[in-house]
Structure 1
């Protein structure tokens, strides 16, 4: 009986080694909403299948912390990535800053130029309408927008006029559809939507630096996920991101 069991073990091992290795499934990426379009372009031709879920960085971070099956996470705010790291949700030594961006004030494509960025000038331009922004307590673009308004002395006048959204692309859509006369979004968002025009570029010295950290998720570290992360740091990906209005991490421009 012992000999038969040993023979069966040898046969099973031989069969297992003769079968092709189980291929890894698609890499699941949780990404900030502002990366929509640019991320697909950066991954084009990578040879590794990826599934991308977009949303506000805070929502993405909370879903990862709750066990959502993400392999790679890319957020638009270092604080949310810190939050994940503090909870042991990131794979060791995989976190790094990937991109940068800039805040811009946008209007519809037909909107006239805007030179008066005083409280009175902006309220006058809104004319009873709303200033579309990401949620100023949770969405990175909204947090940066609030910092700018506070530093520029605009917060008290504009706070009652805000239309706060679940992510920056939702704020962009309000302006593009003409439902809000003005919005604060990223330069990359304005680049992506022909329905808006940039009315003013916001001084980056009036808010915290905009960075997009990326990291593999703890327990989801795989060769395929690492290949995607390496691809996002490649020259090809860099050109795609810059063409979409982003800056590369460490690039002073």
Structure 2
């Protein structure tokens, strides 16, 4: 009995290893969020596990019960969606990053276009496709569709769009030369040496691009809240700025 008590006391005194937080983050955050996770781990914390996908996919997974601790969306709409279902802690929601959308081409392309009302995008495409994230669900695709609509060219180019599951998949189509043009975030273009920015879409041609973050209501991981606060801190935001994001 005394031996058993000794063992139990020893077990109670043993260190408890924290489970790493699970972060659901928009695909466009791959490099920056991984850098932030590395910086957090360098402070002696457990490195978060990060799942990247289109914001729509992540929101649906959260609604289906996926065990995420933090959600970072590439637009307010998908964060609103999980909020309306009571799946986040409203007090933890912050919109902390901004971005731009750009028209890209393969790095070796000589195509030149100036984005303006009724600009000749269809003619420039020729027999090729315009690579975009899903224009009905994925934020980057929705922003791109809104911009092309405002500029008067969406109806003409819509049949020529190659729709991808997320913005990084659209980027890859252009990077590999499978599409002569694509619409992605400025930060995506910066991360891919195989593409170049043809032009930047006017900010007033689409809704503001903001990235909200929030804690998932069902999360029981104390490390997750620490990481969320780190991302919102001055040093955390500085990491995203290095990768081309704006902050707010």
Shared fold (TM-score, shorter chain, > 0.5):
yes
Q: 1:45 aligns with which of 36, 39, 42?
A: 39
Normalised to the residue count of structure 1, the TM-score between the two structures is 0.89
How much has 1:119 moved relative to structure 2? Answer: 4.6
Matched, 1:203 2:197: no
Distance across 1 between alignment mates of 2:124 and 2:102: 16
Greater C-alpha radius of gyration = 1
Counting matched residue pairs gives 241
Distance across 2 between alignment mates of 1:232 and 1:180: 35
Equivalent positions of 1:1-253 (< 5 A) are 15=9, 18-20=12-14, 22-47=16-41, 48=45, 49-112=47-110, 113-115=112-114, 117=116, 119=118, 121-248=120-247, 250=248
Name the SS of the counterpart of 1:37 in structure 2.
helix
The Cα offsets for residues 120-178 of structure 1, whole Å up to 9 and x where unpaired, read as: 62112111100001111000000001110111101111111101110000000000100
The Cα offsets for residues 172-223 of structure 1, whole Å up to 9 and x where unpaired, read as: 0000100000000000000000000000100011111101101111120432
Runs of 4+ that moved beyond 3 A: 116-120
1:91/1:221 contact within 8 Å kept? no
Let me know the Cα RMSD of the aligned residues: 2.0
How much has 1:18 moved relative to structure 2? Answer: 4.3
Distance across 2 between alignment mates of 1:27 and 1:239: 21
Name the SS of the counterpart of 1:84 in structure 2.
helix
Normalised to the residue count of structure 2, the TM-score between the two structures is 0.91
Name the SS of the counterpart of 1:229 in structure 2.
helix
Distance across 1 between alignment mates of 2:28 and 2:212: 13
Distance across 2 between alignment mates of 1:28 and 1:55: 13
Name the SS of the counterpart of 2:91 in structure 1.
coil
Q: Which ranges of structure 2 fall in alignment gaps of 5 or more residues?
A: none
